[in-house]
Amino acid sequence: MKVDKIRNLTDVELSHQERELADQLFKLKFQLNMGQTESLKKIRGLRKDIARVKTILGERERSAAGQKE
């Protein structure tokens, strides 16, 4: 997922996207442990996408806190 696309989402959509990505990551890890998949590339990509979403959410929270002061 591209950063530009993530930045265009609202806070609610970002939270939903984060939950969805975490759910997908859980399922892939489970499949990996069961020996059903060897998709390390997908797991790595999902982890990076989750980090991108969390980073943008954090930026928005910090900017909102800075505007209140």
pTM for the whole structure: 0.86
Residue 54 to residue 38: CA distance in whole angstroms: 26
| Cβ-Cβ contacts under 8 Å for 56 (sequence gap 6 or more) | 3, 6, 7, 14
Residue 67 pLDDT: 84
pLDDT(1) > 80:
no
Class of domain 3-68: mainly alpha
Six-digit token pair at 39?
A: 């998709």
Counting runs of H as helices and runs of E as strands, what totals does the chain give? 3, 0
Six-digit token pair at 35?
A: 């020996």
pLDDT in tens, 40-66: 899 999 999 999 999 999 999 999 888
Residue 10 pLDDT: 92
